Amino acid sequence: MFIKSVIKLFKMANKFDFDYIIIGSGPAGTSAALALANLTRKRIAIVEAGEFGGSNVSSRDLPYSVGLKFSKLYNDAKNAGKFGISGMNLHFNFPTAVSYQEKTSAAASKKCQEELEKAKVTLLHGTANFLDANTIAVDKKQFTSARFIIATGARLAAKEITGIDSVEYFTPNNALKIRRLPKAVCVVGAGTTGCEIAQYFAELGVRTLLVERSGRILPREDEEVATAISDHFTKNLGITVLPSTRVVALEQDHISKRVVVNRGGQEKMTRVDTIVLATGSEPMVDLGLENARVKYKNSGIIVDKAFQTSAKNIFAIGDVIGGESSTSIASYQGSFLAASLVTKSKTPLNYAGFTRVISTHPEVAVVGYNEDDLLKRDRKYRKEIVRFADLPGVAACNDFSDGFVKILADKNAKLIGATIVAPNASLMIQELAMAIRHNLGLLEIASTPHGANSLNNAIVVAAKKLLRKK
């Protein structure tokens, strides 16, 4: 009798091909798969339609890091005359630079694949579609699983543009992979990615037009950020920045491409070699969710606080659920979900201290709330802005005066938000991220020693000024 019971339980446990199938191997999917593999001996598989590692390594984070470093190196060398360095004979081999970027991505993808294999995660290559709540088809094969984790990410959202289907254009996923440098480019959309792309081409000497339908570039950020980056683009890089401008049509003939825009109620046309659409993203939800009875809307798959969808055995994380988007948040969600599923922990999510970085030159880094966020929430706050131009010694030592440090605090002098525009803003913001994560106040920041001539000293100055106001 005992043996029969054991056999019955064994058969029930092996009812499905896998215990977990993760769809998507980007930061969210990979972190979930590896965490599950480390926490349990369950049978785990991960499905990927493209390169393992997802767009993070194949087309976005890593390629952008390499590409933007290349464009900055060239631009800095070209403008090093004030230091007595001549850049008159400076040149570069563009195909070689792009090839290096692609080799770096390929190596990172291979490393991701090896890490998953080492953790004994089964790799399934192909496009996944749900047949029911426990079955997916990966190309022509079917697999069953007790649970699924959807981490398919997002893709370009391009709407309301006439002629988009008849004109060749690039997207953020392949814009930096162009192997022949254009003479003129139009970047449509001046959010984070659009600004990074515009900067890349402009630093390499391409005539660049940046179009944004909102009243300013980087509309999600505070006005000071938009002004600083816009001024840098126009004065130092020669980018033509057109806010409050809507692209209404794209056209193409045998000579060039044409972009028709509406600005101030008037339509105008400009000719370019290359068009890049950076018009925002939308979640990738076309994987037969209806068959699995998973509810979703235009903003993404609907989940609860535990990332559970309307189907109790299916979960979703990362860009596919909408909301705040970043590699670090996606990775955090993957690890958090895996731990919750295995340990049954009820520990709440904690997004405090996660930063948002825009890899322009100078960089923009934001942590916590920005001023626009607080105004929308009708929340009281105090602020202080310290511009590097007002710290002559710091500006001279770092050869930079166009940025600033902005900190926001509540009535109890607790830090609730910060924005930095500086060459190494992504590093400078970390101490403020730690302060927000661990609920530290202005006094702790102001009393922490900093290098007198470092840009970080502006953080101390801002904290002390805000304390004096209190």
Rounded to a whole number of angstroms, the distance between the first and last alpha carbons of the chain is 76
> Is the Cα dihedral 61, 66, 67, 69 positive or negative?
positive
pLDDT at 11: 47
Instruction: Please tell me the CATH code under which domain 9-154+282-343 is placed.
Output: 3.50.50.60
Alpha helix (H) residue ranges in 370-411: 371-376, 392-398
Q: Tell if the pTM clears 0.85, that is, is over it.
A: yes
pLDDT tens digits, one per residue of 259-277:
999 999 999 999 999 999 9
pLDDT at 293: 97
Domain 355-469, CATH number (from 1.10.30.50, 3.40.50.2000, 3.30.390.30, 3.30.70.260): 3.30.390.30
Which of 276, 95, 290 lies closest to 179 in space, CA to CA?
95
Alpha helix (H) residue ranges in 54-164: 55-58, 61-78, 94-118
Residue 114 has which token pair?
Answer: 């090896």
pLDDT at 345: 85
Rounded CA Rg of the chain: 25
> How far is Cα 435 from Cα 431, in angstroms, rounded to an integer?
6
- Judged by DSSP in three states, 333 sits in helix
Where do the structural domains in the chain lie, given as residue ranges? 9-154+282-343, 175-279, 355-469
pLDDT tens digits, one per residue of 29-77:
999 999 999 999 999 999 999 999 998 899 889 999 999 999 999 999 9
Residue 450: DSSP 8-state: -
Cis previous bond, 63, omega within 30:
no
Which strands make up the sheet holding 207-211, listed edge to edge?
240-242, 207-211, 184-188, 274-277
Same CATH topology for 175-279 and 355-469? no
pLDDT at 86: 74
pLDDT at 350: 94
Class of 175-279 in CATH: alpha beta
Question: What count of residues does the chain have?
Answer: 470
Q: Which residues of the chain have pLDDT under 70?
A: 1-13, 87-88, 158-159, 470
